[in-house]
Amino acid sequence: MTVLIITRSDDNVSPARVAAAVEARGVRAYRLDTDRFPTEIRVSIDDQPDAPTRGRISGPAGDVTLEEITSVYYRRFNVGARIPSELEPPLRAPSVEESRRVLHGLLAVLSASGAFGLDRIDVVRRAENKPLQMALARLADGLDTPRTLVSNDPAAVRAFAARQPAGIIAKMMASFAVYDEAGRENVVFTNPVRDEDLADLDGLSLCPMTFQERLPKALELRVTVVGDRVMAASIDSQALPRARSDWRREGVALLNEWRHYELPPAVRAGALALMGALGLHYGAFDFIVTPDGRHVFLEVNPCGEFMWLLERPGLPIDEALADLLCDRARDR
């Protein structure tokens, strides 16, 4: 048995923690840093009927045949990052694309051969669709959802805002950063929409946005689901002014303030139902808990980060992942 871990060389300690937990169960963990392919890692997919193996991966972690791989943990993808940037764009772009297709093909062959995927790329890509998440969440018993509008129509946004007495917030579907002239990273966070913002929405003609009703917050939750295990942690994001709209603005300052949280059974059941509807085995949920006790679903991240939760409050997410990858845990 071998668990193939798909990540990138600049990832944090999370895949290493999962690999250690896998190997503690007597199963080999093979790490494939996708940014090292095709420059440092060799991949062969052999479709000859009389070939001794269906294929092989060779690289810094050693060799592994495709027959040995029983599970795949898909976490991060950055194929072709080390193909020289000096290569002419008309040559570099197809090199990156061909490399990407080869690794996608490798994962598809493993899936077709019966290897367990946590999760398959096609499932992850579908599940990342935020409008789909919200539509399915509204159908799941136990999940409360915020009023939401996705639009590039200024008139629709202003009409939506007029119907929300507590105001609205704006956010993006994808996490990204804008870099200034000095190369400094400016992450795009969730922000409240002010009257002056509503008066100037011309930018929507270049990029649509997601708008939601602004909800009062008692706590914010990160709920991590692995198979049928649901692990929740809470943070008082209102303790720091800059964190009130988006706790990530003060993520470092709040690092040690995360606490175990007991999720209501109905919300737990709703989260599992949404996981099933999306076809996911792993998901990192974000919730708001309002002062009157509503648990409001915001989104689920199919490959969401969990590193900080391993230490505070000490959620055993790495162990749960290893159990599922090594076929030692129940799935839904």
Computed over every residue of the chain, the mean pLDDT equals 94
Residue 178 has pLDDT above 70, yes or no: no
Rg (CA), the chain: 22
Would you tell me the crossing angle of helices 14-24 and 317-325 to the nearest 10 degrees?
Answer: 50
Query: Which CATH number, 3.40.50, 3.40.1130, 1.10.287, 1.10.10, labels domain 2-118?
Result: 3.40.50
Class level of CATH domain 125-130+216-325: alpha beta
Q: Residue 82's closest CA among 32, 9, 183?
A: 9
**What ranges do the domains of the chain cover?**
2-118, 125-130+216-325, 147-213
pLDDT for res 49: 83
Span 61-98, pLDDT tens digits: 999 999 999 999 999 999 999 999 999 999 999 999 99
What are the pLDDT digits (tens) for 217-235?
999 999 999 999 999 999 9
Other CB atoms closer than 10 Å to residue 135's CB: what's the count? 13
Give the pLDDT score at 50. Answer: 80
pLDDT exceeds cutoff 90 at 188 = no
Q: What is the pLDDT of residue 182?
A: 67
Question: What is d(CA 204, CA 211) in angstroms, rounded to the nearest whole number?
Answer: 12
Average pLDDT over residues 132-154: 97
- In the chain, what is the greatest distance between 2 CA atoms, to the nearest angstrom? 70
State percent of the chain over pLDDT 90.
87
H-helix segments, 279-330: 307-311, 317-325
Q: How far is CA 285 from CA 30, 54, 88, 237, 241, in A?
A: 28, 37, 41, 16, 23
Average pLDDT over residues 318-328: 95
Q: 2-118 and 125-130+216-325: same fold?
A: no
Percentage of the chain modeled with pLDDT above 70: 96
Task: With CA atoms as reference, report the closest residue to 326 among 59, 100, 23.
Answer: 23
Which of 177 and 254 is assigned the larger pLDDT? 254
Range name among 181-185, 255-259, 292-296 with the lowest pLDDT average: 181-185
Question: Is residue 325's pLDDT more than 90?
Answer: yes
**Confidence bin at 312 (pLDDT 50/70/90):** very high
pLDDT at 186 over 90: no
